Structure 1
Amino acid sequence: MPRSATSARPRQTVSVLAYDGMSAFETGIVTEVFGLTWPDVEADGYELTICAEHPGPIPMKGGATLRTPHGLEAFAAADTVIVPSVSEVAADTSPGVIAALRSAHRRGARVVSICSGAFALAAAGLLDGRRATTHWVYAERLGKMFPRVLVDPGPLYVADGTVFTSAGCAAGLDLCLHLVRLDFGAATANAVARRLVVPAHRDGGQAQYIETPVSTDPGDDRIARSMRWALEHLAERIDVDALAARAHMSPRSYLRHFSRTTGTSPIRWLIAQRVQASLPLLETTDTTVEAIAAAVGFESAVTYRHHFGRAMRTSPSAYRRAFEQQQGAARAPAAR
């Protein structure tokens, strides 16, 4: 059954660090997720501030210039602070940035890095004894420079307490959507992902290309139509024969076309969609795990728990508890 609605809360603040020689891509990721209004999303969104160690013009790659009046004091004051890379992984992180990161962390703010931004977090000591990731190119160096960091080069992103790290630049988008999911739930994260035309959640790690539920072959809409049908009938028993029939193909032809279109198999894709469909039920209702498993089409709670664990790296019950705790923390933003 649905839980009672939460009380209104102030918009959360997000700050992102700009620096000389930065790429516009990573800052653009943060801006797209946290800086835009969501007219078709039932959430208030965030207040975003772009900050720099030295306010004023910031030279970017390609000859462009970004200008911001906000310094490190504003950066450290946000509920979520994001370092979207560093200019050089071998260079020392400035004392000012280190102090700002430590200040934000002491207040209880979420501290986030994208790609090589993990080096700044590590320099501030925020990754000591924590599991963390970065781009696989830098993972070995991160471990050697900061041996107290538990570097895991596999995941797209890692959450350890209030500290979040992500792999390469594009994985920063996965992490940003994860933060939206923590703050507003899976339904809102899915809506934001749809606006960005990206998967709301990618399974797997850095070493593989990840499947997507969106058809990439505009000349063959049959696969896309069968996928849309499956999403509308997740609670039903669905196999390759049923999907192939919806696409008016033989099962063998369907498997070939599906793999070419999505990069994965129908069953793997279907499992991922069922896990995703279960998240709003875990977040917004008190329905039992057994009932949720049946509602999204798993044959048993045991099967559901198995696939949920592989996709989300936790159990359904633990996910529900963590979401409730995160919501409680979100209703009391870090002290400014």
Structure 2
Amino acid sequence: MSHRPHRVVVLALDGVYPFELSIPVRIFGTAADPDGTPLYEVVTCSLDGRPVPTSADFAVAVEHGAEAIDTADTLVLPPFVCAPTGPRDWLPDEVAAALGRVRPGARIVSICTASYVLASAGLLDGRRATTHWNDAEHFQRTFPSVVVDAGVLFVDDGEVLTAAGVASGVDLCLHLVRRDHGSAVANRVARLCVVPPWREGGQAQYIERPVPPASTATTSATRQWALGRLDRPISLAELAAHARTSVRTFSRRFREEVGLTPVQWLTRQRVEHARRLLETTDLPVDRVAAEAGFGTAASLRLHMSETLGVSPTAYRNTFRTAA
């Protein structure tokens, strides 16, 4: 007895980002049974069936209007250019009407900042969700009823799923293939698409954390001094002594200026130094740990796991600069 393929409908809104728009058809469209039978049918629609302008210098022609959503087993919303002045700008009436066509039991997926659409529609209220790390704080302020997790690549909350920035849409679509049909099918899709079947860690490993520039702040000179000796133990008392103040006063001023305790800041700078060494050198992990002031590879692994959600080896495999 044959079964119809799971139907994935992708809703392209004006200003859609082309890369993210193509992710569902590439991932789901590659999934097949061992005999080659497609496991998904992917169709792309717009609100009115007309061509959709993208964020690039071209438009995309689609063959379906919003009525395609009526038959969706999974609806995917890729991100699009939007300059809102308020939450409602993410959900104009015609978009709200399109979401209202989703059948009970169908899955709804957002990629990157398309999570704003789902949140504006109330679909993320009380749920855990994610979005691009660069927008996470604004997203949380705008939608306080959503439990925002900015550190992960995607969140699976049953029938509502959210992916973080850009390529994490690939991770989420592969996750859905794995959830629907098992690891063997998902791994084959990943191989055919030449992407990893599962990425270790989360968004934390991609967030830029530049060292604060030197300033006239009272702890700035001490911070610069500490950055020059990350390979050595540095106690809070030594930091305060360099700043020529008491430990209590130094700790208070440091937190006021940096937003972290001295110990938190020092650990973060050690992790950042380790990241740079892993990206730009072939030093063994234990040597990287020593150079960054962690002492042992085990300590480095612990701190990188806590801070970035990924091991030193996995981080190097992802980010090592080609020679």
The TM-score range, normalised by the shorter chain, is 0.5 to 0.7
**1:103 Cα deviation from its structure 2 partner:** 3.6
Q: Is the 8 A contact 1:101 1:111 kept in 2?
A: no
1:162-185 CA distances to partner (integer Å, 9 max, x unpaired)? Answer: 100010010000000000001110
1:164-215 CA distances to partner (integer Å, 9 max, x unpaired)? Answer: 00100100000000000011100100000001111111121101159xxxxx
Question: Which residue of the partner structure matches residue 97 of structure 1?
Answer: 95
* Closer/same/farther in 2, CA of residues 38 and 144 from structure 1, 3 Å limit: same
1:112-150 CA distances to partner (integer Å, 9 max, x unpaired)? Answer: 000001011111111000000000111112112211111
Question: Which residue of the partner structure matches residue 122 of structure 1?
Answer: 119
* Closer/same/farther in 2, CA of residues 128 and 64 from structure 1, 3 Å limit: same
User: How far apart, in 2, do the equivalents of 1:89 and 1:126 lie?
Assistant: 21
Question: Is the counterpart of residue 150 in structure 1 residue 147 in structure 2?
Answer: yes
* Closer/same/farther in 2, CA of residues 155 and 176 from structure 1, 3 Å limit: same
Q: Is the 8 A contact 1:41 1:192 kept in 2?
A: no
SS of aligned partner of 2:90: coil
Structure-to-structure mapping, 1:132-281, within 5 angstroms: 132-208=129-205
Question: Which residue of the partner structure matches residue 73 of structure 2?
Answer: 79
RMSD of equivalent CA atoms: 2.8
User: How far apart, in 2, do the equivalents of 1:42 and 1:128 lie?
Assistant: 40
SS of aligned partner of 1:48: strand
Q: Structure 2 regions of 5+ residues with no counterpart?
A: 208-281, 289-296, 299-308, 311-323
Q: Is the 8 A contact 2:31 2:186 kept in 1?
A: no
Give the residue type in structure 2 aligned to 1:198: V
Q: Is the 8 A contact 1:131 1:149 kept in 2?
A: yes
Q: Is the 8 A contact 2:25 2:42 kept in 1?
A: yes
1:234-271 CA distances to partner (integer Å, 9 max, x unpaired)? Answer: xxxxxxxxxxxxxxxxxxx9957xx9xxxxxxx99xxx
* Closer/same/farther in 2, CA of residues 37 and 129 from structure 1, 3 Å limit: closer
SS of aligned partner of 1:9: coil
SS of aligned partner of 1:56: coil
Q: Is the 8 A contact 2:17 2:80 kept in 1?
A: no
User: How far apart, in 2, do the equivalents of 1:34 and 1:9 lie?
Assistant: 16
**1:40 Cα deviation from its structure 2 partner:** 6.6
Q: Is the 8 A contact 1:135 1:153 kept in 2?
A: yes
User: How far apart, in 2, do the equivalents of 1:181 and 1:108 lie?
Assistant: 19
* Closer/same/farther in 2, CA of residues 41 and 208 from structure 1, 3 Å limit: farther
SS of aligned partner of 1:203: coil
SS of aligned partner of 2:144: coil
Q: Structure 1 regions of 5+ residues with no counterpart?
A: 1-6, 211-252, 260-266, 269-309, 312-336
**1:54 Cα deviation from its structure 2 partner:** 2.1
* Closer/same/farther in 2, CA of residues 122 and 87 from structure 1, 3 Å limit: same
Provide the TM-score with structure 2 as the length reference: 0.60
Q: Which residue of 10, 16, 21 corresponds with 2:15?
A: 21
1:91-124 CA distances to partner (integer Å, 9 max, x unpaired)? Answer: 33122222332441x5110000000010111111
* Closer/same/farther in 2, CA of residues 180 and 37 from structure 1, 3 Å limit: closer
User: How far apart, in 2, do the equivalents of 1:56 and 1:192 lie?
Assistant: 31
Give the residue type in structure 2 aligned to 1:158: V
> Percent same amino acid at aligned positions?
45
User: How far apart, in 1, do the equivalents of 2:35 and 2:28 lie?
Assistant: 13
Structure index of larger Rg? 2
Q: How many residue pairs end up in the alignment?
A: 212
User: How far apart, in 1, do the equivalents of 2:27 and 2:75 lie?
Assistant: 14
Give the residue type in structure 2 aligned to 1:27: L
User: How far apart, in 1, do the equivalents of 2:195 and 2:90 lie?
Assistant: 35
**1:65 Cα deviation from its structure 2 partner:** 1.7
**1:23 Cα deviation from its structure 2 partner:** 1.7
Question: Is the counterpart of residue 31 in structure 1 residue 28 in structure 2?
Answer: no
- Structure 1, 188-197 or 86-95: larger mean CA deviation: 86-95
1:7-59 CA distances to partner (integer Å, 9 max, x unpaired)? Answer: 75321000111122222100111121123464877663211110111211112
User: How far apart, in 1, do the equivalents of 2:206 and 2:55 lie?
Assistant: 27
**1:86 Cα deviation from its structure 2 partner:** 3.3
Provide the TM-score with structure 1 as the length reference: 0.57
Could you say which structure has the greater relative contact order, defined with CA pairs below 8 angstroms and 6 or more residues apart? 1
User: How far apart, in 1, do the equivalents of 2:198 and 2:2 lie?
Assistant: 27
